[in-house]
Amino acid sequence: MGQRWRDWWKQARHDLEHATAARDEGRHDWACFAAHQSAEKAVKALHLAHNQEAWGHSIVRLLADLPTPPSDELVEAGIVLDGFYIPPRYPNGHEEGAPFEHYGPIHSELGLRHAGHIHDFVRQALAER
């Protein structure tokens, strides 16, 4: 189990690149979802590096289950990103309209910034172990 963390970390970084590309192409709904996915996989990589199982998609819960508690700022980033898990993909995630109609540059920038903070946290934690 512990050795797979590198695969999760590589995929997390790849997903962050995908989020950036989606933002640059104006696909802000997918940028938001990919930002969530990159942060989720980064935190799961850290769990695996500590020989812990990590299940679920809630970044907030995944952060809370780490051996070292995250900062309040990181938890807030997780809260924002958790809001990008289902609504950017499914029409019933909004009262009306297609998901892509609800997301713009502000959303994707916010998602990328918060995912970047989580990546920085994980990168530092991995370096310190």
In single-letter form, the type of residue at position 82 comes to D
Domains and CATH numbers, the chain: 2-128 (1.20.120.330)
Each residue's pLDDT tens digit, 85-125: 999 999 999 999 999 999 999 999 999 999 999 999 999 99
Query: What is the tens place of the pLDDT at every residue in 73-89?
Result: 999 999 999 999 999 99
Size of the chain, expressed as the number of residues it contains: 129
Rounded Cα distance between 19 and 8, Å, is: 16
Task: Say which residue the tokens 């500590």 belong to.
Answer: 50
Please determine, for residue 2, whether its predicted confidence score (pLDDT) is greater than 80.
no
Q: What torsion do the CA atoms of 36, 23, 29, 17 make, to the nearest 10 degrees?
A: -30
For residue 26, the SS3 value is coil
Alpha-carbon gap, residue 21 to 89, rounded angstroms: 17
Q: What is the pLDDT of residue 96?
A: 96
pLDDT tens readout for residues 41-57: 999 999 999 999 999 99
Closest CA to 8 of 65, 53, 70, 71: 53
Calpha distance 65→77 (Å, rounded): 16
pLDDT, position 74: 97
pLDDT of residue 1: 54
